[in-house]
Amino acid sequence: MERPPTAAARRAAFRAILAGGACIHPASVHDPVSGRIAADLGFEAAMFAGSVASLAVLGAPDLILVTLTEFAEQARRICRAGAPPLLVDADHGYGNALNVMRTVEELEAAGIAALTIEDTDLPRAHGGGEPGLLSLDAGLGKMRAAVAARQEAGLVVVARTSALNLVSLDEAVRRAAAYATCGADALFFTGVNEWEQLAAIQAVSGGLPIILGGTPPKMSDRARLSAHGVRVALQGHQPFAAAVAALHATLKALRDGTAPADLPNIAPAALMKAVTREGDYAAFTRDFL
């Protein structure tokens, strides 16, 4: 069997993406099987989002209810199964700057290639209301703590800001300029909807590669995104929603009386054997039992 790449090799591959000249779309994954499918289909990288983790682990909305231990363990399962280099959404680092350091330690040990730490004030305070931003000093403290906590230099630390969503372009630019000096390897932005916004952010990024949390259709030109410094652009998390739809339709059909043999859209045996690496386990059984 061909062994999955080591964590160091996956980190080197992700750094090569950031250092390259193209913008890639990562696969959104949530478990070992989805990670393997992404690898088999040739995705250069994969993304494990906090919102998807909340759904996959708890069946809950994205309200920062997943714990660090739960998140890191699911990331470990995905990496162990042979997913492409994995970028994970570590949210706010599960607490203050010291908690961020613990978060980096756990996720690094899980085998991920890259992680984002954001400056949103999470979880929401008593009474709910609209989310806000941490102060710039607190945000910088978290980013610096993340960089200081990694033990393997290949691990990619990405500074993420929600300023464009929550405040203004001016604040996003101010934070981009500040986070470009904290030792992070890339900058992550959500809410970029205009080329002019992206240009303003790129101008202060200090040459760091940019990751976008999604773009509108009018900004789908990957060559133009690349020219603006974007190396990774998320497309959403449709695979998990598609899996939910397939599960719901199949279970409903069975509940309504459809015979198992008559169910549509069932994965063929060859695909099931591939995603479970049945051939590898057959060889293990032959050689070691």
List of residues 6+ apart from 16 with CB closer than 8 A: none
27 and 84 Cβ atoms separated by less than 8 Å: yes
User: Containing H/E element for 172?
Assistant: helix 169-179
Residue 133 three-state SS = strand
199-241 tens-digit pLDDT: 999 999 999 999 999 999 999 999 999 999 999 999 999 999 9
CA–CA separation, 26 vs 237, rounded Å?
Answer: 10
Give yes or no for residue 280 having a pLDDT over 70.
yes
CA–CA separation, 104 vs 72, rounded Å?
Answer: 10
Give yes or no for residue 126 having a pLDDT over 90.
no
Nearest by Cα to 53 from 80, 38, 34, 26 = 34
Dihedral angle over CA of 33, 35, 38, 39, nearest 10: -100
CA–CA separation, 272 vs 65, rounded Å?
Answer: 32
Q: Where are the beta strands (DSSP E) in 55-127?
A: 86-89, 114-118
pTM: 0.95
